[in-house]
Amino acid sequence: MATNANSAMRGYAAHSPTLIADIGDIPRQAGERDAAFWDRLRPQFTIGGGTAYLDNASYSPPPGLVLETQERWQHQLSANPANPMRLGELEPVRGDVAQVIGASENEITLTRSATDGFSLLLYGFDWHRGDEILYDRGDHPSIVGIIETLSARYGVRAVDAGMGGEVLADAEIVSRYSASLTTSTRLMILSHINAWTGRRLPIRALAELAHANGTLVALDASQSFGALQFSVRDLGVDFAAAPGHKWAAAGHGGGFAYYRRDIQRLIWPTVGGGYDPKSTSIFDQSARRLDRNAGQKNIPFLLGFAAAVGWQNAVGRGSIETRLLELSAYLREAFAGLPAVRLLNGADDAAASPLTVFTVDGHGARDVQEQLLRRDNVRIGLVGEGANARLRASPHIHNSLNDIDRAVAALARLSAA
């Protein structure tokens, strides 16, 4: 096992030798895991009722190691109640997350969710009437909601980049954001994966554009963290947030936010206080100050999150990304053979992600979702609501090709009826 996988597994291997041995026994080279490897991993997931679960972009079930770690900590906190904050155990979680996204542990805030991370960022700024936030209407509703609140409260102008859920070439995306930048744009908000098309945005080019304008960049990494490899430094973003319950497969209850060192001084704590801007302590002069005094944390979740990070490191982040893109390519090729299915992802591989967005001619998206689950025990996700809703299929490493074949057969039956 590689050194960083070893260090990230500290403490967990002793507890769960079999779960780790299943991974560690097999020589690992990024992208070279074979079908037998993924078959051996599958029993670590316990998806009930034989469902072909293809909605991992909404929620990815955690492997046994994570569930075990969380359960163990629930008991441990009761058995040994003398130290309820557990700061000694929680502190290293920052470093585990930081390593995955190419940041420093001093740049990580532990949060309850992606929305929590964006709230800390957006409500923590000193806003002035007339300041502008550049975003896209297709960004996640919980983030759009924060922007709308800032508009109502401080007179901040929300400017829509206007991608409108269309499949756009990278140059066109950059051009739309560019056309919407002004001298008042203080922040550009970017979804790493566009929810309406399942395509990766050209984050680095957009961040360069923003910085040339003196604008900071906030990345919603909810749909990339745990699925695709990236470094916040390479992408050039100033802030990023993601939850644990999606591709990281860490269960509900928490997440993280990254604050680039140089922007931390711009953000006031908005949950809890006790922050002394003049103090030179690492707690005041790091991203810790946004969570240190924020009350009790979900300790079992956060330690389970660290276990999930270590587990994915041991599986291999390159292997996970390759597998997800292969499963999604297989899925898209099969869906493309169904005459009633309209794929919305576009064709170029550079923008590929594990999210496949589609519609079915003659059927509303929610209706398709319900029928597939009821008749075929296949779970597909939804983006949006009502007439505009789209379907979203998102396989993770616990899925087999057979799960995808079941989705294809179910869609073929539905459109033939």
54 or 338: CB nearest ligand PLP? 54
Q: Which is nearer to ligand PLP, 63 or 251 (CB)?
A: 251
Residue 380 CB, nearest approach to ligand PLP (Å): 15
Residues 289-328 that bind ligand PLP (CB under 6 A): none
Q: How far is the CB of 383 from ligand PLP (least distance, A)?
A: 9
CB of 222 to ligand PLP, least distance (A): 4
Q: What are phi and psi of 405, to 5 degrees?
A: -60, -40
Classify each residue of 327-358 as buried b or exposed e, where b means 16 or more C-beta atoms within 10 Å of its C-beta. Answer: bbeebbebbeebebbebbbeeeeebbbbbbbb
Based on the shown chain and the rule CB under 6 A, indicate whether residue 197 belongs to the binding site for ligand PLP: no
| Of 41, 60, 29, residue with least CA distance to 355 | 60
Write down the least CB distance from residue 121 to ligand PLP, Å.
13
Burial of 76 (0-12, 13-18, 19+ CB in 10 A): middle
CB nearer to ligand PLP: pick between 69 and 115: 115
Q: Using the rule CB under 6 A, give the single segment among 85-93, 95-103, 163-171, 216-224 that binds ligand PLP.
A: 216-224
Region 241-280 residues binding ligand PLP, contact defined as CB under 6 A: 243, 255
Q: How far is the CB of 117 from ligand PLP (least distance, A)?
A: 8
The values of phi and psi at residue 193, to 5°, are -115, 130
Contact flag: residue 149 with ligand PLP (CB under 6 A): no
# binding residues, ligand PLP (CB under 6 A): 12
Q: Cβ closer to ligand PLP: 318 or 384?
A: 384
Rounded Cα distance between 286 and 105, Å, is 9
Q: Is 198 in the site for ligand PLP (CB under 6 A)?
A: no
* Under 8 Å between Cβ of 417 and 404: no
Does 114 bind ligand PLP (CB under 6 A)? Our answer is yes
Asked if 306 contacts 93 with a C-beta cutoff of 8 angstroms, the reply is yes
Q: How far apart are the first and last CA of the chain?
A: 51
> Which residues, listed in sequence order, are joined to residue 390 by a DSSP beta bridge?
383
Q: Which is nearer to ligand PLP, 24 or 141 (CB)?
A: 141
Per-residue CA distances from 398 to 19, 41, 255 (Å): 14, 7, 21
Least Cβ distance, residue 73 to ligand PLP (angstroms): 21
Closest CA to 259 of 187, 321, 309: 187
Quick one: which of 94, 140, 176, 398 contacts ligand PLP (CB under 6 A)? 140
Exactly one of 60, 69, 109, 191 binds ligand PLP (CB under 6 A); that residue is 191
